[in-house]
Homo-oligomer: A and B are copies of this chain.
Amino acid sequence: DGRMVLFSGPCAVESYEVCAKVAESLQKICDRLDIQYIFKASFDKANRTSVDSYRGLGFEEGLRVLDNIKQEFGLPIVTDIHESQQAKPVSDVAQALQIPAYLCRQTDLLVAAGETGKTVKIKRGQFMAPEDMQYAVNKVKSTGNEKICLTERGVSFGYHNLVVDMRALPIMRQFAPVIFDVTHSVQQPGGMGGSSGGKKQFAPYLARAAGATGVDGFFIETHPTPSEAKSDGPNMIPLHKMEDFLTMAKQAFELGQQAKNEVE
Protein backbone atom coordinates (compact mmCIF):
# COMPACT_ATOMS: atom_id res chain seq x y z
CA ASP A 1 0.00 0.00 0.00
CA GLY A 2 2.99 2.31 -0.50
CA ARG A 3 3.97 2.33 3.17
CA MET A 4 7.40 1.05 4.11
CA VAL A 5 7.30 -2.62 5.13
CA LEU A 6 9.28 -4.16 7.97
CA PHE A 7 9.92 -7.86 8.44
CA SER A 8 11.54 -8.20 11.84
CA GLY A 9 11.97 -10.38 14.87
CA PRO A 10 14.59 -12.56 16.51
CA CYS A 11 16.42 -14.93 14.16
CA ALA A 12 15.06 -18.15 15.66
CA VAL A 13 11.94 -18.85 17.72
CA GLU A 14 13.87 -19.13 20.95
CA SER A 15 10.97 -18.80 23.37
CA TYR A 16 7.54 -17.20 23.57
CA GLU A 17 8.94 -14.60 25.95
CA VAL A 18 11.63 -13.31 23.62
CA CYS A 19 9.23 -13.31 20.66
CA ALA A 20 6.52 -11.46 22.59
CA LYS A 21 8.93 -8.83 23.86
CA VAL A 22 10.14 -8.11 20.34
CA ALA A 23 6.64 -8.17 18.81
CA GLU A 24 5.24 -5.77 21.37
CA SER A 25 8.05 -3.24 21.01
CA LEU A 26 8.18 -3.28 17.24
CA GLN A 27 4.41 -3.07 16.88
CA LYS A 28 4.43 0.17 18.86
CA ILE A 29 7.40 1.63 17.02
CA CYS A 30 5.91 0.80 13.62
CA ASP A 31 2.60 2.37 14.60
CA ARG A 32 4.40 5.58 15.53
CA LEU A 33 6.46 5.59 12.32
CA ASP A 34 3.65 4.47 9.99
CA ILE A 35 5.44 1.28 8.96
CA GLN A 36 3.65 -1.94 7.99
CA TYR A 37 5.02 -4.63 10.33
CA ILE A 38 5.29 -8.41 9.83
CA PHE A 39 6.72 -10.52 12.66
CA LYS A 40 9.55 -12.84 11.61
CA ALA A 41 11.21 -15.77 13.32
CA SER A 42 12.44 -19.15 12.08
CA PHE A 43 10.98 -22.27 13.67
CA ASP A 44 14.00 -24.20 12.50
CA LYS A 45 17.44 -23.15 11.27
CA ALA A 46 18.09 -25.90 8.74
CA ASN A 47 21.30 -24.60 7.22
CA ARG A 48 23.50 -23.68 10.17
CA THR A 49 27.21 -24.05 9.47
CA SER A 50 27.79 -26.72 12.10
CA VAL A 51 25.67 -29.74 12.92
CA ASP A 52 25.94 -28.79 16.60
CA SER A 53 24.50 -25.27 16.20
CA TYR A 54 21.19 -24.34 17.82
CA ARG A 55 18.31 -24.95 15.42
CA GLY A 56 15.27 -23.59 17.28
CA LEU A 57 12.38 -25.17 19.12
CA GLY A 58 11.54 -27.53 16.27
CA PHE A 59 8.66 -27.62 13.83
CA GLU A 60 5.60 -28.09 16.00
CA GLU A 61 6.63 -26.15 19.05
CA GLY A 62 8.07 -23.37 16.90
CA LEU A 63 4.88 -22.99 14.88
CA ARG A 64 2.84 -22.97 18.11
CA VAL A 65 4.82 -20.01 19.43
CA LEU A 66 4.42 -18.17 16.12
CA ASP A 67 0.67 -18.83 16.25
CA ASN A 68 0.53 -17.44 19.77
CA ILE A 69 2.28 -14.26 18.66
CA LYS A 70 -0.14 -13.91 15.77
CA GLN A 71 -3.17 -14.31 18.05
CA GLU A 72 -1.86 -12.20 20.90
CA PHE A 73 -0.69 -9.21 18.86
CA GLY A 74 -2.79 -9.56 15.72
CA LEU A 75 0.39 -9.49 13.66
CA PRO A 76 1.02 -11.18 10.32
CA ILE A 77 3.80 -13.76 10.48
CA VAL A 78 6.60 -14.69 8.07
CA THR A 79 8.79 -17.73 8.54
CA ASP A 80 11.00 -19.79 6.27
CA ILE A 81 10.49 -23.25 4.87
CA HIS A 82 13.15 -25.65 3.67
CA GLU A 83 11.31 -28.60 2.19
CA SER A 84 8.14 -28.63 0.14
CA GLN A 85 6.06 -30.64 2.60
CA GLN A 86 6.47 -27.81 5.14
CA ALA A 87 4.61 -25.31 2.94
CA LYS A 88 1.07 -26.41 3.80
CA PRO A 89 1.30 -26.68 7.61
CA VAL A 90 3.33 -23.47 7.87
CA SER A 91 0.78 -21.62 5.76
CA ASP A 92 -1.86 -22.41 8.37
CA VAL A 93 -0.02 -20.03 10.70
CA ALA A 94 2.02 -17.70 8.52
CA GLN A 95 0.81 -15.07 6.10
CA ALA A 96 4.09 -15.20 4.21
CA LEU A 97 6.52 -18.04 3.47
CA GLN A 98 10.17 -17.19 3.07
CA ILE A 99 12.35 -19.17 0.66
CA PRO A 100 15.97 -19.20 1.89
CA ALA A 101 18.64 -17.85 -0.46
CA TYR A 102 20.34 -21.22 -0.97
CA LEU A 103 16.99 -22.69 -2.02
CA CYS A 104 15.84 -20.03 -4.46
CA ARG A 105 16.25 -22.38 -7.43
CA GLN A 106 14.38 -25.36 -5.91
CA THR A 107 11.37 -25.63 -8.17
CA ASP A 108 9.35 -27.96 -5.92
CA LEU A 109 9.75 -25.68 -2.94
CA LEU A 110 8.76 -22.55 -4.87
CA VAL A 111 5.75 -24.28 -6.37
CA ALA A 112 4.64 -25.73 -3.04
CA ALA A 113 4.92 -22.29 -1.47
CA GLY A 114 3.01 -20.71 -4.32
CA GLU A 115 0.22 -23.24 -4.05
CA THR A 116 -0.59 -22.18 -0.50
CA GLY A 117 -1.86 -18.86 -1.86
CA LYS A 118 0.16 -17.02 0.79
CA THR A 119 2.77 -14.38 0.01
CA VAL A 120 6.05 -15.95 -1.09
CA LYS A 121 9.16 -14.02 -0.07
CA ILE A 122 12.18 -15.24 -2.04
CA LYS A 123 15.71 -14.35 -1.02
CA ARG A 124 18.21 -13.82 -3.81
CA GLY A 125 20.77 -16.62 -3.89
CA GLN A 126 24.33 -15.56 -3.15
CA PHE A 127 25.12 -17.12 -6.53
CA MET A 128 22.31 -15.56 -8.60
CA ALA A 129 22.45 -12.62 -10.98
CA PRO A 130 19.63 -10.23 -10.07
CA GLU A 131 17.92 -10.55 -13.45
CA ASP A 132 17.78 -14.32 -13.00
CA MET A 133 15.45 -13.92 -10.03
CA GLN A 134 12.67 -13.52 -12.59
CA TYR A 135 12.80 -17.31 -13.05
CA ALA A 136 12.15 -17.85 -9.35
CA VAL A 137 9.25 -15.40 -9.56
CA ASN A 138 7.87 -17.22 -12.58
CA LYS A 139 7.99 -20.57 -10.79
CA VAL A 140 5.69 -19.18 -8.10
CA LYS A 141 3.48 -17.45 -10.65
CA SER A 142 3.04 -20.75 -12.48
CA THR A 143 0.74 -21.70 -9.57
CA GLY A 144 -1.47 -18.69 -10.19
CA ASN A 145 -0.12 -16.93 -7.08
CA GLU A 146 1.01 -13.36 -7.75
CA LYS A 147 1.77 -12.41 -4.13
CA ILE A 148 5.56 -12.43 -4.33
CA CYS A 149 8.36 -10.33 -2.95
CA LEU A 150 12.11 -10.62 -3.40
CA THR A 151 14.85 -9.99 -0.88
CA GLU A 152 18.39 -8.75 -1.36
CA ARG A 153 20.99 -10.07 1.06
CA GLY A 154 24.29 -9.79 -0.78
CA VAL A 155 26.14 -11.86 -3.32
CA SER A 156 29.27 -14.02 -3.00
CA PHE A 157 32.42 -11.93 -3.24
CA GLY A 158 35.40 -14.21 -2.87
CA TYR A 159 35.41 -16.51 0.14
CA HIS A 160 33.86 -15.60 3.49
CA ASN A 161 32.50 -12.33 2.21
CA LEU A 162 29.36 -10.92 0.62
CA VAL A 163 28.89 -7.65 -1.18
CA VAL A 164 25.59 -5.84 -1.71
CA ASP A 165 25.26 -4.78 -5.32
CA MET A 166 22.84 -1.87 -5.15
CA ARG A 167 22.12 -2.25 -8.88
CA ALA A 168 20.29 -5.46 -7.98
CA LEU A 169 17.52 -3.47 -6.29
CA PRO A 170 16.13 -1.66 -9.35
CA ILE A 171 16.72 -4.75 -11.49
CA MET A 172 14.69 -7.00 -9.19
CA ARG A 173 11.94 -4.42 -8.65
CA GLN A 174 11.05 -4.98 -12.30
CA PHE A 175 9.77 -8.41 -11.24
CA ALA A 176 8.36 -7.91 -7.73
CA PRO A 177 8.61 -5.65 -4.65
CA VAL A 178 12.06 -5.85 -3.04
CA ILE A 179 12.97 -6.04 0.64
CA PHE A 180 16.50 -5.24 1.81
CA ASP A 181 17.80 -7.72 4.39
CA VAL A 182 20.01 -5.60 6.62
CA THR A 183 21.10 -8.44 8.87
CA HIS A 184 22.34 -11.04 6.42
CA SER A 185 23.92 -8.45 4.14
CA VAL A 186 26.56 -7.85 6.80
CA GLN A 187 27.13 -11.55 7.40
CA GLN A 188 30.49 -13.15 6.73
CA PRO A 189 29.64 -16.71 5.73
CA GLY A 190 31.63 -19.30 7.62
CA GLY A 191 33.87 -16.48 8.75
CA MET A 192 34.18 -17.61 12.36
CA GLY A 193 35.39 -21.17 12.00
CA GLY A 194 32.34 -23.34 12.53
CA SER A 195 29.79 -20.50 12.49
CA SER A 196 29.06 -17.38 10.46
CA GLY A 197 30.38 -14.03 11.65
CA GLY A 198 29.46 -10.53 10.67
CA LYS A 199 30.23 -6.86 10.68
CA LYS A 200 27.18 -5.30 12.28
CA GLN A 201 28.76 -1.86 12.22
CA PHE A 202 28.00 -1.64 8.50
CA ALA A 203 24.25 -2.21 8.99
CA PRO A 204 23.22 1.47 9.18
CA TYR A 205 25.31 2.41 6.15
CA LEU A 206 23.87 -0.35 4.00
CA ALA A 207 20.31 0.28 5.21
CA ARG A 208 20.56 3.93 4.18
CA ALA A 209 22.18 3.04 0.87
CA ALA A 210 19.48 0.52 0.00
CA GLY A 211 16.68 2.81 1.11
CA ALA A 212 18.01 5.68 -0.96
CA THR A 213 18.51 3.40 -3.96
CA GLY A 214 14.89 2.41 -3.67
CA VAL A 215 13.25 -0.58 -1.94
CA ASP A 216 9.83 -1.52 -0.63
CA GLY A 217 10.93 -2.36 2.87
CA PHE A 218 13.50 -3.87 5.18
CA PHE A 219 14.21 -7.16 6.91
CA ILE A 220 16.05 -6.73 10.21
CA GLU A 221 16.76 -9.27 12.91
CA THR A 222 16.68 -7.91 16.42
CA HIS A 223 16.89 -9.22 19.96
CA PRO A 224 16.45 -7.73 23.41
CA THR A 225 19.97 -8.95 24.23
CA PRO A 226 21.88 -9.87 21.05
CA SER A 227 24.78 -11.33 23.00
CA GLU A 228 22.38 -13.95 24.35
CA ALA A 229 20.69 -14.73 21.02
CA LYS A 230 21.00 -18.37 20.06
CA SER A 231 21.62 -17.64 16.37
CA ASP A 232 23.12 -14.76 14.38
CA GLY A 233 23.66 -12.66 17.50
CA PRO A 234 26.72 -10.86 16.13
CA ASN A 235 24.65 -9.27 13.33
CA MET A 236 21.52 -8.28 15.22
CA ILE A 237 20.42 -4.76 15.99
CA PRO A 238 19.58 -4.49 19.72
CA LEU A 239 15.84 -3.99 20.28
CA HIS A 240 16.39 -0.71 22.12
CA LYS A 241 18.15 0.71 19.05
CA MET A 242 15.39 -0.23 16.63
CA GLU A 243 13.39 2.98 16.83
CA ASP A 244 16.39 5.10 15.90
CA PHE A 245 17.37 2.62 13.22
CA LEU A 246 13.92 2.54 11.65
CA THR A 247 13.61 6.33 11.76
CA MET A 248 16.83 6.60 9.80
CA ALA A 249 15.86 3.80 7.39
CA LYS A 250 12.54 5.48 6.72
CA GLN A 251 14.22 8.77 5.78
CA ALA A 252 16.33 6.90 3.24
CA PHE A 253 13.27 4.96 2.05
CA GLU A 254 11.43 8.19 1.38
CA LEU A 255 14.34 9.63 -0.53
CA GLY A 256 14.34 6.49 -2.69
CA GLN A 257 10.58 6.67 -3.27
CA GLN A 258 10.62 10.28 -4.46
CA ALA A 259 13.66 10.03 -6.68
CA LYS A 260 13.64 10.37 -10.43
CA ASN A 261 16.00 8.09 -12.25
CA GLU A 262 16.19 9.40 -15.79
CA VAL A 263 19.60 10.23 -17.22
CA GLU A 264 18.88 10.87 -20.88
User: Residues on A close to B: CB < 8 A?
Assistant: 46-51, 55, 82-85, 102-103, 105-108, 110-111, 125-130, 132, 135, 138-139, 142, 155-161, 163-167, 169-170, 189-190, 194, 199-206, 208-214, 237-238, 241, 244-245, 248, 251-252, 255-256, 259-264
Selected contact of A255 from candidates B55, B128, B201, B251, CB within 8 Å: B251
Q: Complex formed: what's the CA distance from A166 to B207 in Å?
A: 10
Known: A50-B138, A206-B213, A248-B260. 10 other contacts (CB 8 A): A46-B108, A83-B83, A126-B127, A158-B158, A158-B159, A209-B212, A241-B263, A241-B264, A245-B263, A251-B255
Selected contact of A107 from candidates B55, B84, B130, B208, CB within 8 Å: B55
Which residues of chain B are within 8 angstroms of A129 by Cβ–Cβ distance?
159-160, 189-190
Contact status B169-A205, CB under 8 Å: yes
Q: Complex formed: what's the CA distance from A55 to B106 in Å?
A: 12
Which residues of chain B are within 8 angstroms of A125 by Cβ–Cβ distance?
102, 127
Contact status A190-B135, CB under 8 Å: yes
Which residues of chain B are within 8 angstroms of A161 by Cβ–Cβ distance?
158-159
Which residues of chain B are within 8 angstroms of A263 by Cβ–Cβ distance?
200-201, 203-204, 237-238, 241, 245
Contact status A167-B199, CB under 8 Å: yes
Who on chain B is nearest to A170 by CB?
Answer: B205
Contact status A252-B46, CB under 8 Å: no
Q: Complex formed: what's the CA distance from A193 to B194 in Å?
A: 25
Question: Please, could you name 21 A-B residue pairs with CB atoms under 8 Å apart, sorted by A?
Answer: A50-B138, A51-B107, A51-B111, A82-B108, A83-B85, A83-B108, A125-B127, A155-B156, A157-B158, A158-B158, A163-B165, A163-B167, A167-B202, A170-B202, A201-B261, A204-B263, A208-B214, A208-B259, A209-B212, A212-B255, A252-B255
Contact status B255-A106, CB under 8 Å: no
Selected contact of A206 from candidates B49, B83, B166, CB within 8 Å: B166
Whether A138 contacts B51 in the complex (CB less than 8 A), given A158-B157, A166-B206, comes out as: yes
Contact status A213-B209, CB under 8 Å: yes
